[in-house]
Amino acid sequence: MTAAATSPIIVALDFADAAGALAVAGRLAPNACAVKVGKELFTAEGPALVRELVGRGFRVFLDLKFHDIPNTTAQACAAATRLGVWMLNVHASGGSAMLAAARGAVDRAAAAAGRTRPLLIAVTVLTSLSADDLAAAGVADAPEAQVLRLAKLAQAGGLDGVVCSSREASALRAACGPDFLLVTPGIRPAGADVHDQARTATPAEAIAAGADYLVIGRPITRAPDPQAALEAIQRTLGRIA
């Protein structure tokens, strides 16, 4: 699935409260993007905010990066599935048993609810981490090698894909095949501020490297016209004229 059937852009709603997130969401067309709800926003507003976005027609990526013992992670994934999210994630470093438990829980919860199961992906190496950061944590390998190791672990556990930076996308596509989803944060249009991301790429570069979905936040959410900023990025990808 190297070319997403729908819009590849996931807009990161990285806000402190529902008011800010919904204000931006209200200026975006639900059929033009998915939206991401992360830890700050979910902690502040909880499931009600997710339900609101789903009710407005958005595909919601719940980015909570679950990482715990297998049973706890499984129950959290089941709860997220019942919320109606389109995508959720866990940390691949939680290990094979945790990944298998998450996979099974998502499948069972979706079947019980009579809904299409959400995509379940794994976080490999956070895009804010450099080789020095990994070394300080006891990981001797370069980020690319660690990403590949964790991606293969996730694929063996039946997950749909991984979060990775654009720098690893080409190698992962070659190693994991065409049907393994690659979700790429750290995306910045040409000339934009990289903020706190250590490994970045433009949207076109990421897609060319093999990414399926692009997580883009501030270049869209802080723009004077978020929909116009979204459409400008889509034009660089040849998605709209």
Q: pLDDT value at position 200?
A: 59
Catalytic entry in 36, 39, 65, 152: 65
The answer to whether residue 4 scores a pLDDT higher than 50 is: no
Percent of the chain residues past pLDDT 70, beyond the cut: 93
In this prediction, residue 149 carries a pLDDT of 94
Q: Chain-wide mean pLDDT for the chain?
A: 91
AA letter at 123? V
- Position 192 scores a pLDDT of 53
Domains in the chain and their CATH numbers?
9-235 (3.20.20.70)
Lowest mean pLDDT among 13-22, 57-66, 95-104, 158-167: 158-167
Average pLDDT over residues 182-205: 71
pLDDT digits (tens, 9 = 90+) for 82-115: 999 999 999 999 999 999 999 999 999 999 999 9
pLDDT at 144 (0 to 100): 86
- Of residues 239 and 190, more confidently modeled: 239
pTM for the full model?
0.90
Token pair 């992906």 is found at 121
SS3 track for 63-131: EEEECCCHHHHHHHHHHHHHCCCCEEEEEHHHCHHHHHHHHHHHHHHHHHHCCCCCEEEEECCCCCCCH
Q: What is the structure's pLDDT at 194?
A: 46
pLDDT band for position 127 (50/70/90)? confident
Let me know if 39 is a catalytic residue: no
pLDDT of residue 126: 84
Tokens (6 digits) for 199: 């490994």
pLDDT greater than 50 at residue 37: yes
**Residue 240, pLDDT score:** 61
Alpha carbons 213 and 9: distance in angstroms, whole number? 6
Q: What is the pLDDT of residue 128?
A: 80
Whether the per-residue pLDDT at 17 is higher than 60: the answer is: yes
Residue 181's pLDDT is 98
